[in-house]
Amino acid sequence: MPRFSHRVLVPELMDTEPCGSDTFRACLVDLSKVNRLTLAYRPTLAFLRQAARRLPPGRPLRLLDVGGGYGDTLRQLDRWAARRGIALDMTSVDLSPWSRTAGETAAATRTPIRFVTANIFDHVPDAPPDVVISSLFTHHLEDRDVVRFLRWMERHATLGWFVNDLHRHPVPYWFFRYFSQAMRWHRFVRHDGPVSIGRAFTRQDWQRMLAEAGLRPSDATIRWWMPFRYGITRFKPGPAA
Ligand SMILES: C[S@@+](CC[C@H](N)C(=O)[O-])C[C@H]1O[C@@H](n2cnc3c(N)ncnc32)[C@H](O)[C@@H]1O
């Protein structure tokens, strides 16, 4: 059990247990249920609302979702944008080839999601994204790679970027342990959920890592979202290219 005073990097089954497409898909499907129940899309939708206001009229918003998994976040954003007449150009980059397989079997979006299989640090976008987003991705990384990822986003996103991830705290840890058993979610989700909370972050972690990435406190905002998430928002000064 983590002590919550610092990150405990217990390996996640999702990252370490060799598995086939069906197992990975079943895990991602249950993870999308967790996302819905834990209001996980709300912070990213709030970021999209802000990003859409900054976009020059007449062209789609180029969105890159890192560690996009099943693509459910992008599908939620697509629904939101469709209701407002906002066009999106969506790419999901994920290390696992099974992300693409699972994502392509899910419900269709207005414009198809481009699923790319790659390690984000080796990925060079064809066209620079306006915004880079991620959800439940950064806790998969060690601190130095989170800092590297912040720099990667800073280099590639023309408008800004958003990180959505868990708050390391005993309340969600114990709640999720029991709730996920009761819900009989996928074995990976039951194991990796509490492990993810132990690997996750506090506000002080984000302040430190943002500074290490060369950002000043005024360059990004760190907001706590109910229940037990942080959203890190960065908009660059000036209009989009
Ligand atoms: C917990 S899942 C999150 C999926 C989805 N974003 C969500 O919110 O449900 C984390 C995802 O990050 C992917 N991932 C881990 N390391 C990665 C890396 N270095 N580059 C790209 N994807 C990575 C994993 O394969 C996995 O699909």
- The answer as to whether 218 is a domain residue is yes
- The answer as to whether 93 is a domain residue is yes
Encode pLDDT of 173-205 as tens digits.
999 999 999 999 999 999 999 999 999 999 999
- Does 220 contact ligand 1 (Cβ within 6 A)? no
Ligand 1 pocket mutation, candidates 64, 77, 140, 225, criterion most atoms within 8 A of CB = 140
Overall number of domains in the chain: 1
- pLDDT at residue 155, rounded to an integer: 97
- The answer as to whether 192 is a domain residue is no
- The answer as to whether 185 is a domain residue is no
- pTM recorded for the entire structure: 0.96
Say how many Å lie between the CA of residue 118 and the centre of ligand 1. 10
- The answer as to whether 183 is a domain residue is no
CA distances for 45 relative to 55, 75, 85, 142, 181, angstroms: 15, 11, 15, 27, 29
Q: Among candidates 168, 120, 116, which has minimal Cα distance to 148?
A: 120
Handedness of CA 93, 112, 162, 69 (dihedral sign): negative
- Residues 122 and 107: their CA atoms lie apart, in Å, by 29
Local structure of 57: helix, strand or coil: coil
- Does 94 contact ligand 1 (Cβ within 6 A)? yes
- Residues 187 and 203: their CA atoms lie apart, in Å, by 30
Spatial contact of 138 and 167, defined as CB atoms under 8 Å apart: no
**Protein residue whose Cα sits closest to atom 4 of ligand 1:** 69
- The answer as to whether 12 is a domain residue is no
- pLDDT at residue 240, rounded to an integer: 54
Q: Which domain holds residue 120?
A: 19-167+202-235
- The answer as to whether 79 is a domain residue is yes
- Does 109 contact ligand 1 (Cβ within 6 A)? no
Long-range contacts of 49-56 (CB under 8 A, 24+ apart): 50/233, 50/235, 51/130, 51/131, 51/159, 51/160, 51/235, 52/81, 52/84, 52/86, 54/159, 54/160, 54/235, 54/239, 54/240, 55/86, 55/130, 55/159, 55/240, 56/239, 56/240
- pLDDT at residue 2, rounded to an integer: 75
- The answer as to whether 150 is a domain residue is yes
Say how many Å lie between the CA of residue 189 and the centre of ligand 1. 13
CATH code of residue 53 = 3.40.50.150
Whether 30 shows a pLDDT value over 60: the answer reads yes
Q: Tell me the average pLDDT across 117-137.
A: 97
Looking at the chain, the whole-number percentage of residues with pLDDT higher than 90 is: 93
**Protein residue whose Cα sits closest to atom 13 of ligand 1:** 67
Q: Tell me the average pLDDT across 56-70.
A: 94
- Does 193 contact ligand 1 (Cβ within 6 A)? no
Say how many Å lie between the CA of residue 115 and the centre of ligand 1. 12
Q: How confident is the model at residue 132 (pLDDT cuts 50, 70, 90)?
A: very high
- Does 93 contact ligand 1 (Cβ within 6 A)? yes
DSSP state of 86: -
Encode pLDDT of 77-88 as tens digits.
999 999 999 999
**Protein residue whose Cα sits closest to atom 27 of ligand 1:** 69
**Protein residue whose Cα sits closest to atom 11 of ligand 1:** 67
Spatial contact of 199 and 8, defined as CB atoms under 8 Å apart: yes
Local structure of 74: helix, strand or coil: helix
